[in-house]
Amino acid sequence: MLVNNAGVMPNGPFLDLAEETTRLMVEVNLMGVVTGMRLALPGMVERRRGHVVNVASLAGKVPLQGLAVYNATRFAVVGLTAATRLEMAPHGVSVTAVLPSAVDTALASGLDMRPLPKVSPDQVAAAVESSVTSRTGEISVPRYVGVLAGAARVTPAPVRDALRRVVRDDRALRTDSAERAAYHARIEDEAR
């Protein structure tokens, strides 16, 4: 079994994001998953059994203002997971995407993502563990956010846009907490 579980999530307006930070997100959030799978899958295919879990994010299904590049990397991981799941099935290998809402770690520190709930790392770990027996293609954490994300995709755009305004879905654009500033400083140092 392989669990790909790494990510960085700087927030802010797309045009303000430094090129180095963008590259770091692509390298960690997407290429880390690609690399892990390329290393683990050949042995699984050879043994004709195995399971890969890619911890992505609900942001891989729902675009959020202030998280454009993060969204892009997580959408890519969701697509990568779905496609490799199809390719690996004939070889006895399953691939699952775990899609948590904001996880209560440094990744989401200082962010108010309401109405999305913050979930604990233990809840994400429980979803990873349950994937071992269920081998489900996608698991949302909590599960009901996956249902809401699906409903949002079929909701007419004017209604969806009005709902976004009501719930103030632009909160990731407007953070000024010391916690978030410290996270950004750390990420920017890593990006250099």
Catalytic residues: 70
**Residue among 39, 45, 47 nearest 2 (CA):** 39
DSSP helix/strand/coil, 6: coil
DSSP helix/strand/coil, 118: coil
* Ramachandran angles phi, psi of 34, nearest 5°: -60, -45
The rounded distance, in Å, linking the Cα atoms of 93 and 87 is: 9
* Ramachandran angles phi, psi of 77, nearest 5°: -65, -40
Kindly give the residue spans of alpha helices, DSSP state H, lying in the chain: 19-25, 32-47, 68-88, 121-134, 143-154, 157-166, 178-191
In this structure, what token pair is assigned to residue 159? 């209604």
The rounded distance, in Å, linking the Cα atoms of 169 and 144 is: 18
